Structure 1
Amino acid sequence: MRSRRFFRAAVAGLVMLATGFIAQTPANAASAIYISVYPPSGGTPASVPMVLDMREWSMVDGGRAQLWQKLTTGDFRNQRWWVTAKGQLQGYTYYEIKNQLSEKCLDMATDVPAGNGVRVQQWNCHGGWNQRWLAMPVETGNKWVQLINLSGPGLGPDRVCLDVTGVSYSNGAPLQVWRCSRNWNQRWNIY
């Protein structure tokens, strides 16, 4: 008798999963994290790191991504990101990076030709290559990676990386894509 009840309960649970009664949300999948940039060479890591931030807590398509000092009080969801593996390319994992506040994806603008200086923004997630970021280690044995955007030249010699504009380590420095160079302003910690 007891085994029949267990069997019925197990079948009912599977039916609920199959019919969508239990919804998955990004919060169920993983915790949102900060994404920090490597401090400039010759400098020391700041006591408060600089992180990927959505300017002015933007909730709209086209809201600009920028660098800002890590917030730990108040509403800091504009600095928190869900980083979700979406596949592999040439042995490296590529990711969708979604903002916790807006639930929009980190996106390389497509209204201009791909290349140096194209702005990085947020946009409704649609699964396009301009919202896919491949993490390539800069050096063996540490957690810093280049985030290569997969929509432009891909992994060729002209590939473009998430980049802090003007090599600026200050609040409000806008983000763009730029030809990958291994400089500090293209080294990110997504782990």
Structure 2
Amino acid sequence: MARYTGPKTKIARKFGESIFGDDKSFEKRNYPPGQHGNNRRRGKKSEYAVQLMEKQKAKYTYGILEKQFRNMFSKANRSTGITGEILLQLCESRLDNVTYRLGIAPTRSGARQLVSHKHITVNGQLVNIPSYQIKPNDVVSIREKSKSLNVVQESLSNNKSVNEWMTWNSEKMQGTFVKVPERSQIPEKINEQFIVELYSK
């Protein structure tokens, strides 16, 4: 499947924030990319440009392609509740994102790779689909043979994040997706209302 494999710092600079995690290159040049760098005159963005930028930011943040993202929006739009909030909740409930949030992988792309390479189980069953939707009380574990992987061990030892909607059992090396997070609990700086307005045109 097609994925963005280009320089991530360039994308982070485009949005003005480190959407892929810690990035020393972004910290050095935290202004938009371009030939004239920070001195370039940048006109006021149109309403459409702002909305499109927010959608692109969400897609790059969660590593989702356009067709998948549009399908998720359609699902959120059909659900009862606030469409934008449900859209972000669907993004947060993806198996690759849950794997990342639990600290099993240092990045979402790393988490996606672990899932694709059959290192992760859900409720004891091997699942290798990154977009698999995790439900409340589902248990996400590291496959027994994969618990000794260096990348997993390093990620877990460096993980300092605490997510209120999940619990982690370090002895069993498994986490429970207790409930779908509320919008106030999701730390991503995404204005979901702009995305709703864009798709509603």
What's the TM-score, normalizing by structure 1?
0.26
Question: Larger Rg: 1 or 2?
Answer: 1
Q: Greater share of helix residues, 1 or 2?
A: 2
What's the TM-score, normalizing by structure 2?
0.25
Q: Greater share of strand residues, 1 or 2?
A: 1
